[in-house]
Amino acid sequence: MHLLDQMAEARLQEAVDRGELRGLPGEGKPLHLEDDSAIPEELRAAYRVLKNAGFLPPELQWRRELREAEQLLQQLPECDRSRARARLELLQLRLAAHRRSPMNLLLEDQYRQRLLERLDSSAP
């Protein structure tokens, strides 16, 4: 267990011992945890923080757009599908290009700016 995990566990146990966690909504109900087994252990906490803050890495945003475009393409009449196919192919090319090269999220301007704004607003 990492030091940060140990500290968090110790703080939680102290709060339980003092009774501070009694009567909270959802008490006694099972947690619905997401499967994060595909994410390296040392990155899980950071990914969870970013996800809870509403941030998506550009590659994941493109995957979402790709899925949405595929669904929309299926709903369009045949005569309107050529433009939608072009958009879908562009998204597929972007995704493929980023898979070939390692991605540094802090180099993505929009992502970096949103992250910095979020950190500035949460600072005491």
Confidence (pTM): 0.36
Evaluate whether residue 87 is within a structural domain: yes
User: Who's near 34: CB < 8 A, 6+ residues apart?
Assistant: none
| 95, pLDDT greater than 60 | yes
CA–CA distance, 39 with 48 (Å, rounded to integer): 10
Evaluate whether residue 32 is within a structural domain: no
Q: Which of 6-20, 43-57, 75-89, 92-106 has the highest mean pLDDT?
A: 6-20
pLDDT per position as a tens digit, 97-119: 766 655 555 556 666 677 667 76
Domain limits for position 64: 56-98
CA–CA distance, 53 with 117 (Å, rounded to integer): 12
Question: 116 vs 12, which has greater pLDDT?
Answer: 12
Evaluate whether residue 33 is within a structural domain: no
Evaluate whether residue 46 is within a structural domain: no
Question: If we measure between CA atoms, which residue out of 71, 73, 67 comes closest to residue 86?
Answer: 73
Evaluate whether residue 88 is within a structural domain: yes
Evaluate whether residue 121 is within a structural domain: no
Tokens (6 digits) for 21: 């966690």
Evaluate whether residue 19 is within a structural domain: no
pLDDT of residue 11: 93
What mean pLDDT value characterizes the chain? 76
pLDDT per position as a tens digit, 62-85: 777 777 877 877 787 877 777 777
| 33, pLDDT greater than 80 | no
Evaluate whether residue 50 is within a structural domain: no
How many distinct structural domains can be found in the chain? Answer: 1
